[in-house]
Amino acid sequence: DGGITQSPKYLFRKEGQNVTLSCEQNLNHDAMYWYRQDPGQGLRLIYYSQIVNDFQKGDIAEGYSVSREKKESFPLTVTSAQKNPTAFYLCASKRTGANYNEQFFGPGTRLTVL
Amino acid sequence: GIQVEQSPPDLILQEGANSTLRCNFSDSVNNLQWFHQNPWGQLINLFYIPSGTKQNGRLSATTVATERYSLLYISSSQTTDSGVYFCAGRKMDSNYQLIWGAGTKLIIKP
């Protein structure tokens, strides 16, 4: 089955720790995205990558870092510099090109800072 | 500014009722999409609808791009339709960035 997987589903972190959220896709999509969602809110873009070894900051990149060493993988690290990291994190991917406009989403990771 | 606004913010209906959700978008946004987020957080693509009308079962959507709005219709609502409905549009000076509305929370009571 083609799709996007995220792990873990739930993650608990102590203050001051870095944590890495996994996102893998086997859809052969070039573009991948990380979003943050707070309760009762829409999605906000953290980082996105259009191609391997390249990524750009979104609207709320401070306190986060990413890498894109493989087409299939786009891990997100939540660093200790992120002041309020408790949120629901969603990864998405998309084919690039003018005819491809839909983003497809993974199941999400709920991060709680204790 | 770049905006996507949804209404109503909350909607509570009895099973079997019909509903209309609205999305207004600014002139720097296009290529509207509608998503459903289920109670477990999974986002499901409903429609990619830059203009015109599409139907999928009990759901249909219409976008009037010249008037900067899109409507999502749900007929004969079922409890499984509950969740949050988002619209999102592509930021025009970007091939990749989506601008999201705040969502409409729909509760269907049995």
Structure tokens at B97: 């960035």
pLDDT top residue among A52 and B94: A52
At B2, is the secondary structure helix, strand, or coil? coil
pLDDT top residue among B59 and A100: B59
CB contact under 8 A, B86 and A42: yes
Span B31-80, pLDDT tens digits: 899 999 998 899 999 999 999 999 999 999 999 999 999 999 999 999 99
Q: How far is Cα A66 from Cα A83, in angstroms, rounded to an integer?
A: 17
User: How many inter-chain contacts (A to B, CB under 8 Å) are there?
Assistant: 54
pLDDT top residue among B90 and B17: B17
Q: How far is Cα A107 from Cα B11, in angstroms, rounded to an integer?
A: 25
- Per cent of chain B over pLDDT 70 is 97
Q: How far is Cα A27 from Cα A85, in angstroms, rounded to an integer?
A: 29
CA nearest to B98 within chain A: A45
Q: Is the pLDDT of residue A33 over 90?
A: yes
CB contact under 8 A, A107 and B41: yes
